[in-house]
Every structure is written in C-alpha cells, then in structure tokens.
Structure 1
Amino acid sequence: MAYVPGVALLAALVVGCSSGSDGDAGDADSKPGSPTVSAAPPGKYRTLPEACRAVPPGTLRDLLPGTAELPQDQQEKVLQGAPSVTYDTDRKVGCTWKSQAPDGSRNLVIDFERVVSYDPAVSDDDRARDVYAQRENAADLPTAAAPHEDEKKDKEGEKKGKASVTPSGTPTTPSAPATDASSGSGSDTDDLRPRVLDHLGDTAFLDDLLTQAGSTAQHRTVSVVFRTSNVIVTVQYTEQPSLVTEVPDSRELQEKAQALARKLAEGLSE
C-alpha cells in the first residue's frame, strides 16, 4: 500500500466529497417525473395613482354642489381632498372630499387597493379575484327574483298603512305602491337596484343604501366597486339633504358614481 502524506490525503478527501455532493444534486435534479414549481406571474400594476389627484377639478365641482360658488381659497381646500391614512402607498391609497350647500351635503370617497399574492403558486390577479369576490358577496346583491331592500320596506310600509320610499327617492303611499322589481316590468326600479355592472374593468358591482338615523335627514350612499387586473377600486358617493322630508335620488347618484368609476378605470389603463 503506497504512503500518502497527510496533506495530500486531506485534499483528496475534500475533492472526493465535493464531487460526490455535486453528483448527488445533479442526480436529484435529473430524476424523471420530479415536479417543477414556477412562480405565478405578477399583477399588471406595480404602483397606484395619487388618489387625491385622480379626479379632475371639473368633475369634482360637478360631484360636490356648492363648491364652485365658494371663495377661491375655500374652493381649493375642498378640491384638494383629504388623503386616507395608509402605511403602504404602494398597496393602498384613498381620498375623501366633502361639500356643504344650502340644500344638503355631498361626500365622495375613492379607494385604490393593489392586491399582492404572497403564495408563489397563486398570481396577484387570482388573489385579487378572491378579494373582489368576497366584497361582492358581502354586498349581498339581490338576485333577479329578489326585490331591492327599499322595496321590502315599501311592502312593510303598505302593510302598516304608512308612506314609503322607492329606490329612486320618490315617495309612495299605500294607494300608489312601489313597482315590484321582480315583475320584469322594465320600470326605473329595475335599473336602480344594486347589481353587477357590465363593461367596467374586469368585473364590477353597484350597491345603493338608504339610511336614516333618528330625526336626521335620510342619506343615501352609492358604492361602485370594480377590479382591473390586481387593483380593486371603490367609489362611494353620499348625499344627505338638509330637509328631513327629502330623499336623495338614486338615479343621479348612481349615474355620477358610475361615470367617475369609468374615468378611474380609463386612467388605470393608460
């Protein structure tokens, strides 16, 4: 048996171990049928717009009645809005505007959320679909056969012999009951129910809520929520009249909220 100096023997052992490790790794990688995991593609959007600058001044003046009549300094204050408190502007931003006019107040809130998946097997878009679906389900939109919540109140009001309010804000009495949206008569009530919207982002829905607290005037909030790729946008538009007897009109609020949502969707696509 030939004599091998200690240093040479140590070097030989190191080389042997290294080559053996590489060979084992190569064998493992080349095993037939071994699964390969590739990361899901990232979402289309990596950043979010500056929320308080996302709505043009002209649009804000239309959405916030009374603003154009204010002195210039007050008008600028209203139009600049108040940014939402957020700890990560790459993930979530928002802005709120408020106006007060003799006949009532209007509030506008917009919110942008960029959804990110932390699961390499789930894409940002797929995660955003799940988040959006949860919000749509939480809105509890009526089915085609189910009446709007306000219509349920109409029926209850008729039973009690009291006046009630339709979704469009038109008072009705027991002698002139509100049209049942489930009848398919093609009335305004059909068009104004909370519903899924077409041709807005990848998917969208609208909610319409009329509330009254104590002796204060009724206020109505129309919400439009849509998803574009991995970004979810929410528009909330609220009106509260000064008079307790007045009811905010659904049609006006819904049309303006949808028009703004479409502008925001176009801005994201640019």
Structure 2
Amino acid sequence: MAYVPGVALLLALVAGCSAGSDADDPDADSKPGSPTVTAAPPGKYRTLPESCRAVPRATLEDLLPGAAGLPEEQQDRVYEGTATVTYDTDRKVGCRWKSDAPDASRNLSIDFERVVSYDPAVSDDDRAREVYGRKQEAAALPTAAGVTPSETPSGSASAPAGGTPSGSPGGTSSASPSTDPSADPSGSTTGTDPDADLRPRLLDELGDAAFLDDELTRAGSTAQHRTVSVVFRTSNVIVTVQYTEQPARVTEVPDSRELQEKAQALARNLAETLSD
C-alpha cells in the first residue's frame, strides 16, 4: 500500500503532459464550421512586353511618315524609339517615338502598367479596375443622358456628364452646341453633327474596358497640336496609347479622324498581342 500514492502521482504527471501537447497544437482550438479566408486570385499577366518592340516597324512607318525621307541610319534610330525610364519593368514600361517632316511633326507613345493588389482580399483585376476607373474619370468624357461609363473607381461617382474636351474634333478649337436649325429640339445632335462620332467617348470591343480622348491645344503663337489618347484595360494590365500631330503652319488643324483611326488600330493590335 505504501507504493500506491507514487503510482497515482506518476499517472497524473503522464496525463498532464498529454493535455499540454493539445494546448500547443494550433488546430486544437479550431471550431468546426469556422470560415476560411481565401486569397483573391492573381491577375492574368505576370510580366509586360518589351515596349519598344511592341509596335511593328510597318506600323511605325505609317504612324511616323516624316521618317521616310531620312537616311537609313536615322530612320533606324527613329523606329527604335526611346524607352521610358522606369524602376520596375515588371510593373510599368513605355516607349516614345518622334518624327519631324516639313509639313508636320508626329509623336507616338505607349505605356503598359501591370497592376498588383497587395491586399489578399482584393484581386489584381479589381485593383486594376479601380486604377482604370480613375483614369476614365479624370478624362471627364461627355456622357449622353442615361449612359453610364462602364468602369469607375469603387465607391466613386461616374464621370461627370457633359464634360467638354479641350478641342472639338474636326478642326474647330472649342466644343459648342450645334446651331443647325434641323437639330433635335431636345438638344440632341444625332444625325446632324458629322463629328459626333469623333468626340471623346467609351470604346467597345477593346479589352475589358476602354475610352478615347481627343484634345486640341495651342501653346502661345505656335501651331495647334492634337493628341488622341486611347486607354484600355485587359485583366490587370492598363495600356495607354497617345498619338500627337503638330502641323508646321499655324493655320492648319490636325485631322481628328485620321489620328483616332490610327490610334485605335494600334491599341487593338496591342490588345491582341497581350492576349497571345
């Protein structure tokens, strides 16, 4: 009988160690049915293209006609472009081209931005949608009654209706309502304004969302220059194309239709390249 307390004490110590091992188990306190946090999916794109090689030479020859008359060596330098200075080529890259001709100078730039969300609850695509939405809002595109821009930043209002571009497409230096007596009394100029389809607007069938801006400006006594910008988002990448023309003569106004068509064509080619 003298040994029974010792045996009881040994059993108690063994039981205590077993209980302590459960306390050290991180899953020991988990309750059945507790919610599991799942990280948001990453974006489709993990890298970006080499920007200065993203535009075929044939396209550059069309967009930069002033280079055609240069010696071959100078043409090569024009078409090589100049890479945008960036500190993280996995997140943002760009390239610039410029050509001068006796009648006009033209500038082309493209920028790729890969958006990454550092919030595990927010996907890269959702973060890119917010970034794109801020760009679209900043452009202040004119909106028709009842039409809402396709993407806006989370929690923000859509682009203000009736925004006026800096320059009206078609050659006039400011946007003004139509004075054509045949215009609709409600204020709509559909069918009466030949430049209606050239105004800054949302674009269809280009990436996940896209818009076009058209700006005509004059700096001092220099000739007016027009810049057409096409911005689109595809998954977590945002692409910006800017195409500018400045005629040599002060009296000339760059043609909207030509610049817009070429800028859109390039943007669509870049979108296809990204999708490959």
Provide the TM-score with structure 1 as the length reference: 0.84
Give the conservation status (yes or no) of the 8 Å contact 1:209–1:221: yes
Give the conservation status (yes or no) of the 8 Å contact 1:204–1:226: yes
Identify unmatched segments of 5+ residues in structure 1.
152-165
1:156 aligned partner:
none
Q: Which moved more, 1:65-74 or 1:246-255?
A: 65-74
Alignment of 1:243-262 (within 5 A): 243-262=249-268
Higher percent of residues as helix: 1
> 1:258, CA displacement in angstroms?
0.1
Q: Equivalents in 2 of 1:171, 1:87: separation in Å? A: 38
Report the aligned-residue RMSD: 2.8
Q: Equivalents in 2 of 1:178, 1:52: separation in Å? A: 46
1:19 aligns with 2:35: no
1:41 aligns with 2:41: yes
Identify unmatched segments of 5+ residues in structure 2.
146-161
SS at structure 1 position matched to 2:226: strand
Alignment of 1:1-270 (within 5 A): 1-2=5-6, 16-22=19-25, 25-32=26-33, 34-144=34-144, 146=162, 148-149=164-165, 166-169=168-171, 182-185=188-191, 187-270=193-276
Provide the TM-score with structure 2 as the length reference: 0.82
1:26-51: CA deviation from partner (whole Å, max 9, x where unpaired)? 3432333x221000110000000000
Q: Equivalents in 2 of 1:133, 1:245: separation in Å? A: 37
> 1:188, CA displacement in angstroms?
2.5
SS at structure 2 position matched to 1:184: coil
Q: Equivalents in 1 of 2:172, 2:215: separation in Å? A: 15
Q: Equivalents in 1 of 2:56, 2:71: separation in Å? A: 19
The aligned amino acid for 2:24 is: S
The aligned amino acid for 2:6 is: A
The aligned amino acid for 2:265 is: A
Give the conservation status (yes or no) of the 8 Å contact 1:210–1:218: yes
The aligned amino acid for 1:149 is: P
The aligned amino acid for 1:21 is: D
What is the percent sequence identity of the aligned residues? 65
> 1:18, CA displacement in angstroms?
2.1
Q: Equivalents in 2 of 1:250, 1:148: separation in Å? A: 16
Q: Equivalents in 1 of 2:13, 2:192: separation in Å? A: 90
The aligned amino acid for 2:27 is: G
Give the conservation status (yes or no) of the 8 Å contact 1:224–1:235: yes
2:149 aligned partner:
none
Count of aligned pairs: 249
Q: Tell me: CA distance 1:239–1:177, structure 2 relative to 1, closer, same or farther (3 Å).
A: farther
Q: Tell me: CA distance 1:48–1:257, structure 2 relative to 1, closer, same or farther (3 Å).
A: same
Give the conservation status (yes or no) of the 8 Å contact 1:64–1:107: yes
